[in-house]
Amino acid sequence: MSGPDPLNYGWWLTSRAAAVVALLAVTASVLVGLLMATKILKRPKLNRTLMSVHEHTALAGLVAIAVHGLTLLGDPWLRPGVGGLVVPFTMAYRPLYTGLGVIAGFLAALLGLSFYARKRIGAKLWRKMHRWTIGVYVLGVAHTLGSGTDASTAWMRVLLAATGAPILFLTLVRLLPGRERPASSRAAAAAPAGSRRLSQRAG
Residue 200 pLDDT:
46
Q: What is the Cα–Cα distance from 18 to 13, expressed in whole angstroms?
A: 9
Residue 187 pLDDT:
44
Q: Give me the DSSP letters along 109-176.
A: HHHHHGGGGHHHH-HHHHHHHHTTHHHHHHHHHHHHHHH-TTTTSHHHHHHHHHHHHHHHHHHHHHHS
Residue 45 pLDDT:
79
Q: Considering the entire predicted model, what is its pTM?
A: 0.80
Domain layout of the chain by residue ranges: 6-202
- What is the separation, in whole angstroms, between the first and last Cα of the chain? 104
Residue 128 pLDDT:
86
Are 91 and 146 in contact by the 8 Å Cβ rule? The answer is no
Cβ neighbour number for residue 77 with a 10 Å cutoff: 9
Give the tens place of pLDDT for each residue, 131-180.
Answer: 889 999 999 999 999 998 888 899 999 999 999 999 999 999 988 875 55
Are 156 and 150 in contact by the 8 Å Cβ rule? The answer is yes
Give residues with Cβ within 8 angstroms of 126, minimum separation 6: 114, 115, 117, 118
Q: pLDDT below 70 — which residues of the chain?
A: 1-8, 178-203
